Structure 1
């Protein structure tokens, strides 16, 4: 059964990516997820890449001490005891979330659903937690 909801961790792509992150000792999965959307930002980033990138941005926010209310335990465990994320990563995370919110395939999909406002609120909340 497929999982699909307006939260950053409420889809199969994000959950699959979280398993990859949980098995990683470094931040390469986060960097890769952010860079995938950054590389597509001039176009319309693809929905699966956006879903993964939003999960990565949520991890950055949690790493900054600003987790979402429904932050998965795997994320809490991964960020625990790590020094703060680099300022460059925080800037990239914010850029990625803004790009997804403004022009992406994921936004188009949500715009055609009854839950668009919930999705947009979720992304806006995430952006608010990325302030330095």
Structure 2
């Protein structure tokens, strides 16, 4: 997240799905989960914005719709695993829409700190929308 000085705050360095510590922590938990799809569903139902975005990125990769900025550890974890059910991908797209629709959701404050015309905020919004398209694809 940027301060007005343009310095990125520790913990968040990119608008990409895994561009923050919380998403990488979530990935570590996913890698240890006994039932990864249930863990992803739980995240979509009640996780943080960062967790929902990370879960959505993983689902997109599993569905063969990974983006250019997906963390290599996520790609490695997904390798050889079955595509997720369409219903789970659509639930992720819906969870992303809920984030987009709620200006009080975490993430908006992170990236909108400098105002809606800030390029990082617009990039974050574009990333969420692109991810939705990949999930529904």
TM alignment of 1:58-69, pairs within 5 A? 58-69=57-68
Task: Give the TM-score normalised by the residue count of structure 1.
Answer: 0.82
Aligned match of 1:102: 101
Once the two structures are TM-superposed, the CA of residue 23 in structure 1 deviates from its matched residue by 2.1
Q: Is the 8 A contact 2:90 2:136 kept in 1?
A: no
Residue in structure 2 matching 1:33, options 33, 43, 52: 43
RMSD between superposed Cα atoms in Å: 1.7
Distance 1:95 1:79 in 2: 22
Aligned match of 1:92: 91
Aligned match of 2:51: 52
Task: Give the TM-score normalised by the residue count of structure 2.
Answer: 0.79
The more displaced of 18-27 and 86-95 is 18-27
Would you tell me which structure has more helix in proportion to its own residues? Answer: 1
Distance 1:26 1:65 in 2: 20
Residue in structure 1 matching 2:25, options 6, 16, 38: 16
Distance 2:125 2:86 in 1: 25
SS in structure 2 at match of 1:130: helix
Aligned match of 1:118: 123
Can you give the 5+ residue segments of structure 1 that lack an aligned partner in the other structure? Answer: 38-48
Can you give the 5+ residue segments of structure 2 that lack an aligned partner in the other structure? Answer: 1-8
Number of residue pairs the alignment of both structures matches? 121
Q: Is the 8 A contact 2:60 2:131 kept in 1?
A: yes
Once the two structures are TM-superposed, the CA of residue 25 in structure 1 deviates from its matched residue by 4.6
Question: Based on CA coordinates, which of the two structures has the bigger radius of gyration?
Answer: 2
